[in-house]
Amino acid sequence: MLLRVNGGHLSPRGPSGVPALLPVMGFCLYLLTLLLLLCLCTAQWCYQKQNCDDECKDPSRWPVQFPRCGGSHQSPVNIVSRKVQLNSSLPPFSFIGHVDAINVTVKNNGHYAHFGLPESVRLAGGGLPGHYRAFRFHFHWGGGSGRPGSEHTIDGERYPMELHIVHIKEPFHSLEEAEQDTAGIALLAFLFEETAADHPHLDSIIAALGRAKYNGSNTVIPNFRLNDIIPAAKDLHSYYRYVGSMTTPGCEQAVEWTVFHRTLSISSRQLDAIVAQCQFWTGQPMTDIYRPTQPLDGRVVYSSKSGTPQKRVTHLWISVFSGFLIIVTLTH
């Protein structure tokens, strides 16, 4: 470095005579880093129980940062069974690739953990307007066995956990493309009920979540089969259908929702284990990851032809049988 006279003072200059700007450049880099972090935080969002600050929006404030979250066709919803309308044009589904062994990549995105699915897993039927390919699946849960965390509720009842399987309409190649079509995404939802016995195939998912504990971390589940988690299509003729949105920002209103009547099982041990595995992007435990239910705003929830909940069928048969006993008793 050369020292040259500049206005009667010595100033450092590089070989080309340009002043050494390293301290100034370092300060500028520091300011840019602070600006980037500020922008990142203001674009972030939180769940209700996450103790959000003024910069990071909880669900009640999502529409401020993400205007589509304030739309009139938002999800999830509370399904009121007595107001559901029968739709006889809702046929059974056809699942493709559910019995195949696949490698599933699990990634913690700081808000929830998602499980990537290959294009070989596909969906048809169910009254959907086209064929769909699987994209990924994820879970929504509460705070363990004592605090439910499903997103959809049935007659006001929140279930312990909910599984969402996201499908993209063909020929779209990405979620962003599919979101431009009002029926570009088909989302299958399964509610979990707590049982005494473990679900025989959930422990591998719990273990994978533990390997993807932190924001940005990922792992792989080898030889995974979807039919280990959900029943075959022939056993899933009963379901609810309505039009809605994604349940995380930006809440795109491009979803054909299917919520199955048949529930899946999970034990209290598994519920407590699953909520203890991951952390949010804030470093807090990943619990209560569900959006509160949204107004229907005039939308109708339909039920498939054989869409009477099993408990209602059971009650009907009990009534019929009781009536039969009464008649027999009176005739004798």
CB atoms within 10 A of CB 103: 11
Structure tokens at 289: 């990851």
Structure tokens at 112: 């929830």
Using an 8 Å Cβ cutoff, are 261 and 237 in contact?
no
b/e burial code for range 214-229 (CB count within 10 A of at least 16 → b): ebeeebebeebebebb
> If you ran DSSP here, which 8-state letter would residue 57 be given?
B
- Give catalytic status of residue 9 as yes or no: no
Question: Catalytic one among 73, 98, 111, 261?
Answer: 111
271 closest CA partner among 178, 184, 118, 147: 147
Read out DSSP for 274-331?
Answer: HTTS-B-TTSSB-----PPP---TT---EE-TT---HHHHHHHHHHHHHHHHHHHHHH
What is the chain's percent helix, strand, coil content, to nearest 5? 25, 30, 45
263 Cβ partners below 8 Å, 6+ apart?
Answer: 159, 190, 191, 192, 193
β-strand pairing of 153-154 with 78-79? parallel
Q: Which helix (H) or strand (E) holds 27?
A: helix 22-42
Q: Return the active site residues.
A: 111
